Structures are given as C-alpha cells and as structure tokens.
Amino acid sequence: MKIKLPYWLLFFLITTTAYAQLPPVFGLEYDSIAQKDELTRTFISPIRVMWTSDKAGGFIKNTQVLLKRGNSQSDMSRQTQFCSIKTTEKDTASILLDYGKELHGGLQLVMGGSSRREPSLVRIRFGESVGEANSDTYNSDWLMGFSTDDHAKRDIVMEIPRTGLIEIGNTGFRFVRIDLLQPSTLINLKEARAILRYRDIPYLGSFNSSNSRLDSIWLTGAYTTHLNMQEYLWDGIKRDRLVWLGDFHPELATITKVFGYNEVVPKSLDLACEQYPLPNWMNGMASYSFWYLIIHYEWFMQNADTEFLDKHRAYILGLIDQINSGIEEDGSENLGKFRFLDWPSTPNKEGVEAGFRALLIWALKDARKLCGILNENEAMSKCDESIEKLNRDIKSHNNLKQAAALMAVAGILDAKKASDEVIAVDGAARFSTFYGLYMLDALSLAGKQDIALDIIDDYWGGMLDMGATTFWEDFNIEWMENSARLDKITPEGMNDIHGDFGAYCYPSYRHSLCHGWSSGVTAWLTENVLGIKVLEAGCKTLKIDPHLVDLDWVEGTFPTPFGIVKVKHVKLENGQIKSEIDAPEGIEIIKN
C-alpha cells in the first residue's frame, strides 16, 4: 500500500532533512547561507521588582512570580501563577525590573492569557541605570543629532502575543521597564527573563588579595571586557558596538591576563584591516593606526603566533612606510589633522599634540621589534629613522595627564618627573577611564605603586560605589558629590550619576556604562601587584616582581600557551615577600 503525502509535507521533510545532513540544497551549499551562532545564550530572571506604577496593588499583582526561575514555556493550566498587569481607561501600567548586573542581550517575555484576543501593545525600555530605563529617547541638536537610541534600540513599542513567547532587544542593560499601553486591558506575564548573550569561556586568570575591594575591581574590569567580546571585540555593548583600535588596546591587555588566547582578537584585527585598507588610517584616525602596531607586538609577546603576524606583514610594512613618509627632517609630521587621544583630553590641544607624538614613538619602537621578528631589516631602519626625527621635536605635556603618561611609557620623559609634576597631582582627579591604564603604568615606572593603588581605590572603586557592575566610558570623581547610585531612583535634590553627566559624544544616558577601554586596571593589577610580566614571546620567560604595598597577601593565576601559572605572595613580619610560584614546564621564571 502506498501512502501519498501532501506536497507541503513532502517539501518540509525533504528540506529539513537536507538541512540537518548539510548537503547541497537547491544548488546552494548550506554553509554558504547559514552560520552557527558562536555565542551562548543564558536566561536570567530579575532579582527584584524595583517599582510599579500601582501604589495600591490593585492593578499589578503577583510580581514575585517574575523572580522565579522560568522554563520559556507558556501555560494555560490553573496551577500556574502569573503576574497580572491591568490598565484603566485613563492610566497605563508599568513595572521596573532589576537583573542585578550589566548584561548584553535582550528580553524574553512568556505570556499567559489576556483580556484581548488580539496582541497587546507594550513599551519596553532597557537601561544601564534606573534613570535610563525610566527615560525617554531623545535626539540632541549637535554632532549630527546623535540619540540615546541610535546604536542599539533601548526603547521599543511593540505588540506581544497572548499565551505565547516573544523576544525583544539586543543591547547593554541592567534594568527593564515594561509599560502596558492599551486602556482597559489585562495581560498575564509568566516570565520576563533577560537573555544574556556572551562567549562561554573560562576565566583562566584570577586575582585575590587581602583587600576584597581590589578583588572586585579586578573582576569588574574582566567582566567589562568579557561582555564586549561578541562576534568581534567591541568598545561598548550599547555604544558603539564597533572595532575601535584605540579602545582595543586596554581590552587586549585584559584579555591576555584573564582569558589568554581568544580568537576574537585576531578576527577583529583582520576585520580592521579589511575595513581600513592603506592608505586609510584605522577608524579614520592616525593615532588608532599607531595602536594597531602596539597591539600586534603585545599579542605576539603573549602568543608567539608567527603565522598570524606574517599574515599582517604587508599591512605592517605598508603602515611603517606611510608613517615614515609623513615625518620631516626637523621632526614635524603631517599624519592626519585629527589628533585624538581620548575625549577628556580634547580641550588641551597642546597636551594632545605631545601625547600624539609620544604614542607614535611608542608605536614605532614596537613596530621595530615586530620587524626584527619578521626579518625586515629595511623597515627596522625606517622605524629608527622616524624615531630619531621625532625626538628632535619633543613637545610639552602642558600638564595633561594623558600626555605625560604616554611620554613616560614611550621613554621620552622621566617617569618620576611625569608622575611628580603631573600624573600624581590631585590623585584621581583628571584621570581617564581609557588612559588611566597608561597613567598607572607611568606611576609604576616611577616606583609609585602605592599612589597607583590609592588612585585605583578612589577612581575605579568610585564607580563601584555608585553602583557600577561594569566600568564606564568616562568618569570623574567629582561626579560623585551629591549623586545617587545608578541602581536607585534618584531622590529630588540629588544628581543622577548617569543622566546628569557625560560630554562630547556621550551626554546623559547616551553615556556607555560598559566600555571595554576602561578595563585596563585589571591588566595593571596582574602585572604590578601579582607582578607577572612577559619577557619572552609566547610567555617563555616571565618576570615575577610583586608590589603588595599595604596588602598582607595576594594570589592569582595567569594564562599562557603552556598552561596556567599560579602565584602567591605573602608579606612577612619583617616586610619581605615570600612567594610561591607554580609554572608549567617550558616557562622560565625570573624573580626580582
């Protein structure tokens, strides 16, 4: 007996079977039209209901249901409890949820029944702070009308089903506000879970000490960069979700200390070269092309990946030629009109000029080392020639901490002088989330790890004090005065730490509260407190030189191509440091 199947069922069976077995389908290879998501999704229930619009409790009921672990399955049984949300003819109904920490992803709503057979209209607002989740989208009248909603949608009006499931959003957030907009409507909400989308990778590096606040700072920096390790290495999960080569460097420093090797780094460098072929500057800025050279050198020192370095040989050599041709005999240069370090330094044009040139010297020194690895002697000579010419015209830092730090790191200004006269002045005042790493490095070069740790406590610790669970695009410690935490509803008469500050391209709620360039403090703590520094490419030789300052002990791990290095340092009663070091075979340890 033959069974005749309907054409639609036959088509379904053929195509789904074909896709499962991955043969050619309709003349196309499956791999050419589909790509497996390399990231992981995890569902997270809110930890608390922060606020509802229903003060009397008659229109929003059973909110505690939303705090339970869900299963993404709608349910019509009478045994199931729902959070019911009801509007009147005049009033909408609103609920504000807190998911505990900054996340990247969206929201999954699992719905029960509704008073309507048709979909219901809701407004979903994501926020990195309470203030942002409660705010309206705005467009400013400057700089091409940038908006709080233009890179990743955070304010969405949409229809939701009844007795079904829907997913919304792709952004950075901690808080979600849900408004039921239609009058005289009842919806039943079973689950409102955040969708965390992330790379499921282990934290191979670690940092623990007798100061738990310092441990939290290290971990917060690690988590900040981790959230930005999406398909490519972004600078911010809310903004700009792009590969920016300057922002890339502190993130790279963190990745090598926390995760070791990860494909997001070479993949992002490849993409950058595709997007900005020579003679273009990376991201349209000469300084970001300088960072490209520094990144390549530090990535090679961690992994000794000669194949990847050779892949970028032509671009590196071409960039060196482009830089060399733009430097005059007297040390002047014409490498682009836009001289960018970071946003807070922008008004100090004289200082920015000094920092820009110092960054160039640092990049050329690293480029020279890369040319030695690649056996490119002619290019090495060009680097030497360019450095020599630039050194004929050393500019003044003009009391700019960013410039003084770069000059110290580049070796053209004594680190002690840079620290005493500029960087250490007023402590954490005029520090920068991006360039803070290089300010800390300059303090270390001057032997001022004690001052550096005090600044870390005040500056990065200050963000924690304001409710941060990831580090921000920008921060001034002056903002803390009379400001409410980001995880609180701002009382009348106090500042909103998120909405009332920010400048340049990040005013108010446009300000990113998860920005990878702010994570460099994590790398600094591993290098300077744990004291682990790479001396030979591929981590073949490590120097262990801890600086505990006022810590009683510190311990941690460091990822290498050979495996995990474990260290523990304990301060003895006589002030000396006792160290225990466990390193894999193949690594030489040099103790200071």
Closest CA to 204 of 263, 265, 255, 264: 255
Please identify, among 543, 558, 587, the residue that sits at the C-terminal boundary of a domain: 543
Q: Is residue 585 situated within a structural domain?
A: no
Residue 309 identity:
L
- Give yes or no: residues 52 and 93 share one domain: yes
Give the confidence band of 283 by pLDDT, cuts at 50, 70, 90: very high
User: Is 32 found in the same domain as 51?
Assistant: no
Q: How confident is the model at residue 521 (pLDDT cuts 50, 70, 90)?
A: very high
Query: Do 178 and 317 belong together in one domain?
Result: no
**Rounded Cα gap, residues 536 and 568, in angstroms:** 22
pLDDT tier, 138 (very low <50, low <70, confident <90, very high otherwise): confident
Q: Is the pLDDT of residue 242 over 90?
A: yes
pLDDT for residue 336: 87
118 falls within a domain: yes
- Per-position b or e across 545-577, b if 16+ CB within 10 A of its CB: bbbbeebeebbbbbbbbebebebbbbbeeeeeb
- Give the pLDDT confidence score for residue 32 in this predicted structure: 67
Quick one: the chain helix, strand, coil %, rounded to 5? Answer: 40, 25, 40
Structural domain count, the chain: 3
CATH of the domain at 534: 1.50.10.10
Encode pLDDT of 430-459 as tens digits.
999 999 999 999 999 999 999 999 999 999
CB of 103 closer than 8 Å to CB of 194: yes
Same domain, 266 and 362: yes
Does the structure show a pLDDT above 90 at 315? yes
In this predicted model, what pLDDT tens digit does every residue of 383-416 receive, in sequence order?
Answer: 999 999 999 999 999 999 999 999 999 999 999 9
Q: What is the DSSP string of 195-255?
A: EEEE-------EEEES-HHHHHHHHHHHHHHHHTBSSSB-SBTTTT-S--HHHHHHHHHHH
Coil, strand, or helix at residue 60? strand
pLDDT for 19: 41
The whole-angstrom separation of Cα 450 and Cα 443 is 9
Band of residue 31 on the pLDDT scale cut at 50, 70, 90: low
Parallel, antiparallel, or unpaired for β 588-591 and 541-544? parallel
Q: Is the pLDDT of residue 145 over 70?
A: no
What pTM does this model have?
Answer: 0.93
List all residues 6 or more positions away from 262 whose beta carbon is below 8 Å from its beta carbon: 199, 201, 229, 255
At 340, the pLDDT band (50, 70, 90 cuts) reads very high
What tokens were used for 1? Answer: 């007996």
What average pLDDT score do residues 66-78 get? 91
DSSP, collapsed to helix, strand or coil, labels residue 570 as strand
428 and 300 housed in the same domain: yes
Contact (Cβ atoms closer than 8 angstroms) between residue 367 and residue 316? yes
List CB contacts of 263: < 8 A, sequence separation 6 or more.
none
In a domain, 496, yes or no: no
pLDDT of residue 140: 63
Asked if residue 31 is part of any domain, the answer here is: yes
pLDDT at 22: 47
In degrees rounded to 5, what are phi and psi of residue 564? -90, 130
Q: Give residue for tokens 């920096």.
A: 221
Give the pLDDT of residue 592: 81
The side-by-side arrangement of strands in the sheet containing 563-571 is 206-209, 553-560, 563-571, 577-582
Give me the domain span that covers residue 17. 1-36
Whether 402 and 534 map to the same domain: the answer is yes
Is 578 contained in some domain? no
CA-closest candidate to residue 295, choices 307, 279, 312, 278? 312
pLDDT tens-digit map of 573-588:
999 999 999 999 999 9
Residue 538 Ramachandran class (φ > 0 left, ψ -120 to 50 alpha, else beta): left
Would you say residue 286 lies in a domain?
yes
Name the more confident of 150 and 558. 558
Same domain, 126 and 229: no
CATH number of the structural domain spanning residue 48: 2.60.120.260
Q: Answer whether 302's CB lies under 8 Å from 539's CB.
A: yes
Between 38 and 121, name the one with better pLDDT.
Answer: 121
Listed residue (151, 265, 122, 259) closest to 201, CA to CA: 259
The lowest-confidence range among 68-77, 142-151, 298-307 is: 142-151
pLDDT at residue 18 in the model? 40
Give residue 15's pLDDT: 43
Q: Is the residue at 561 inside a domain?
A: no
Provide the percentage of residues in the chain whose pLDDT is more than 70: 93
Cis peptide before 550 (omega within 30 of 0): no
Pair 407, 302 in one domain: yes
Instruction: Report the 10 Å Cβ neighbour count for 504.
Output: 15
- Report pLDDT for 516: 97
β-pair partners for 114: 187
Q: Within this chain, do residues 391 and 524 fall inside the same structural domain, yes or no?
A: yes
Q: What are phi and psi of 75, to 5 degrees?
A: -155, 135
Q: Where on the phi/psi map is residue 320: left (φ > 0), alpha (ψ -120 to 50), or beta?
A: alpha
Domain match, 141 and 29 both: no
What are 221's two structure tokens? Answer: 């920096």
Report which of 219, 271, 228, 231 is spatially closest to residue 252, judged by C-alpha positions. 228
Taking residues 550-561, report their average pLDDT. Answer: 98
Task: Kindly provide the b/e burial profile for residues 266-277, where b requires at least 16 CB atoms within 10 angstroms of the residue's own CB.
Answer: bebbbebbeebe
Q: What is the pLDDT of residue 77?
A: 79
When pLDDT is cut at 50, 70 and 90, the band that residue 4 belongs to is low
Final residue before a domain boundary, out of 154, 181, 198:
198
Looking at the structure, tell me whether residues 254 and 192 fall in a common domain: no
For residues 296 and 247, is the Cβ–Cβ distance under 8 A?
A: no
Whole-number pLDDT of residue 556:
98
Mean pLDDT of the chain: 93
Which of 177, 198, 219 marks a domain boundary? 198
Confidence band for 79, pLDDT divided at 50, 70 and 90: confident
Per-residue confidence (pLDDT) for residue 24, from 0 to 100: 52
Q: Does 26 lie in the same domain as 119? A: no
d(CA 234, CA 242) in angstroms, rounded, equals 5
Report the alpha-carbon distance of residue 592 to residue 531 in Å, rounded. 9
Alpha-carbon gap, residue 522 to 258, rounded angstroms: 9
208, pLDDT greater than 90? yes
Structure tokens that stand for 566 in this block: 């474990």
pLDDT greater than 70 at residue 13: no
Contact call for residues 52 and 63 (beta carbons, < 8 A): yes
- 70 occurs within a structural domain: yes
